[in-house]
Chains A and B, each alone.
Chain A
Amino acid sequence: MSDQHSNKLKSGNTGNKKIGRREFFKTGLRAAALISLGSATGYLLSKSTLDDPVWQIDPEKCVQCGRCATHCVLPVSAVKCMHVYKMCGYCDLCGGYFRPQVKKLDTGAENQLCPTKALKRTFVEPPYYRYDIDEELCNGCGKCVEGCGSFGNGSLQLQINHNICTNCNKCAIARVCPAGAIIRIPASKGYLLKK
């Protein structure tokens, strides 16, 4: 077998073009530059998303005026009641669930404070009841939050749900909030719940 034939066979076996040292370094540098650029872009993008301001309610300032339910641009407000369970007393008589001066502590519609019945009550064991929020039904009116804060531990709190909020440049609720409770916070903070 001649050398020529032997070389053909070799290249036929690998099927690759031989890469020179210069080409190897050039390709490596290109790849490194691309990876660096991608990482930097990803970092900047992620940083920019986390630090972008979003609207949120400061529960320390909120006065439960009811405007969150009526002034959001969405058909049903993005403001929802959220429950900080570790603050809850799990009371039978819950100021957030029952109307003031209610005579019977049961689930009859006439006894409930929530106009949309978004607050659910479940018996745990004597004397405790758990209270959960059905977010689909909650319209952010804040009646339960007011009741809970007036008579209980304040575990029910209004917050803007970022999965629903369109993050308008001028939040329509912030413009009418009498307490200045709607503020911008970095997206990385997300929610401002009292603990």
Chain B
Amino acid sequence: MLYWLFHDPSRDLYVYTPGMDNPDSLDTRAAGETIVIGEHFEAYGQYQSSLKAGWPQFRGNDRNNILLTSSPVNLNWKTKEPQVIWSAETGEGHAAPAVFEGRVYLLDYDESLRADMLRCFRLDNGEELWRRWYNVPVKRNHGMSRTIPALNGKYVVSMGPRCHVMCTDRLNGDFYWGLDLEKQYGTEIPLWYTGQCPLLDDSIAVFAPGGTVLMTGIDCASGQSVWETPNPDQWKMSHSSIIPASFLGKKMYIYAAIGGICGVSAEGEDRGKLLWKLGDWSPSVIAPAPLPLNDNSLFVTGGYGAGGAIIRISRNGDDFSAALQAAWLPHEGLASEQQTPLLYRGYVYGILPKDAGANRNQLMRYQQGNLQEADWQSGKTLRFGLGPYMILNDHLLVLNDEGTLYLFSLSGKEPEELHHVKLFEGQDAWGPLAFADNYLLLRDSKKIYCIDLKP
């Protein structure tokens, strides 16, 4: 009786509540930290290039990862296997280069200087022409750098891991302006740092900071914001990038934030106005960018079990709305953890994530109208990782995590693997590919590489 009265059977039970991991001082900004964006510069050489092509931003000229060129390209690798013609050491990360008229631009993180560093190389031989940097402490967290600069004829706009934006002259690296999104807009730096690649639309640099504004357009000439989209729902920055696209006769910027998907007017007097938003599909981590499918629908996907979804956009006069048409788990249809799938001639190509069941890590092809039933897949013996892929002249290039590049022909009824070549002993080769003037740029976690695809 005494035992019954005094014994507490629940004495060994704990209530699990937030805060039991002692998450103190989570602020990544060190006390008294001063970051002077664009502070340092070094030039190494002069260069006049005759090359004219470019890959000026994330996913290329049309932000679709497709390049169709009339100039001849070596895609007959059985006869002439591509070789690495130059490479350059980088800080650990996944930031990929952009190319403009014979110059390569990479927003690197220099681990010894602890600095975001915009580096400019010659495309043809890898000679470094200049670098501009600023000190900012960043800790290794599955790599550090993750973004691709955006370029036009005059400007390079880059964003570092902790959301420091820098605008410089494309040719000589002169500094124009800098912007700290965390300080300016209260941006919450995403897990593993930002992966958002800047978008340059004419001379307006477009960002989605989260925090006090959902999206903003910065005039490259002045460094001033020319429009801002309010963020009443306090959506946060994801790892995804903004995609410009036209739906139902209206050009808009599409962004998958942490909190929901939105469309913001990209033209006319209402540029910057929130046209529609949808919070019904909001994974906790999103890295791939939205993929426009047709005039009124787009595909969104995310990792960590999010799967995929199709969003349908409607228009009534000047009013737009969006609805979730379908959503599925990774083993039920097309999904991607890091890379953005691509749409080419009525088919959507993508590599499934590790949580996609039996089809994990396989390259899949779906008809544009049915993203839950693959009409072709690479099979159990040919799996890939988180590496990038792109379309080049009716061929699909796929890089696996360890530096093997695969070439598929897309001209037949089904994709056909033509060849593959081990280009480097890489690790985590996840940075997107870039192609210009017959040079293909690739990277792993420690280096960038260039291969020559001249016939």
Give residues in A with beta carbon < 8 Å to B. 89, 91-93, 95, 100-104, 106-109, 112, 117, 121-123, 126-129, 149-151
Contact = CB atoms under 8 A, between A and B. Distances in A.
Contacts of A129: 21
Contacts of B59: none
23 contacts: A89-B142, A91-B141, A91-B191, A92-B191, A93-B285, A100-B305, A101-B304, A106-B21, A107-B17, A107-B18, A107-B20, A107-B21, A117-B16, A123-B24, A126-B28, A126-B139, A127-B28, A127-B141, A128-B139, A129-B21, A150-B355, A151-B337, A151-B354
A127 B137 CA distance: 12
Nearest to B139: A127
Contacts of B32: none
A122 B191 contact: no
B142 A100 contact: no
Nearest to B285: A93
Nearest to B305: A100
Interface string B54-96: 0000000000000000000000000000000000000000000
Given A100-B355, A126-B28, A127-B191, 19 more contacts: A91-B191, A93-B284, A100-B304, A101-B304, A104-B18, A107-B18, A109-B16, A109-B17, A112-B16, A117-B14, A117-B16, A122-B21, A123-B21, A123-B24, A128-B141, A149-B354, A150-B354, A151-B304, A151-B354
Contacts of B26: 123, 126
A123 B139 contact: no
> 9 smallest A-B Cβ distances: which pairs?
A100-B305, A106-B18, A109-B16, A107-B20, A150-B355, A121-B21, A123-B23, A150-B354, A108-B18
B303 interface: yes
Interface of B: 14-28, 139, 141-142, 191-192, 283-285, 303-306, 337, 353-355
Given A92-B191, A126-B28, A150-B355, A107 B139 contact: no
A129 B337 CA distance: 22
B334 to A, nearest CB: 17
Main SS at interface, chain A = loop
Main SS at interface, chain B = loop
A102 B282 CA distance: 11
A71 to B, nearest CB: 23
Nearest to B14: A117
A102 B284 contact: yes
B303 A151 contact: yes
Contacts of A117: 14, 16
Contacts of B24: 123
Contacts of A92: 191
From A95, A100, A106, residue with most partner B Cβ within 10 Å: A100
Contact of A106 (B23, B28, B303): B23
Contacts of B21: 106-107, 121-123, 129
B285 A107 contact: no
A93 B191 CA distance: 7
A66 to B, nearest CB: 15
Contact of B284 (A103, A107, A108, A122): A103
A95 B17 CA distance: 19
A126 B25 CA distance: 8
B455 to A, nearest CB: 41
A122 B20 CA distance: 8
A23 B141 CA distance: 76
Given A127-B28, A150-B353, A108 B16 contact: yes
Nearest to B330: A150
Contacts of B303: 151
Contacts of A128: 139, 141
A107 B14 CA distance: 12
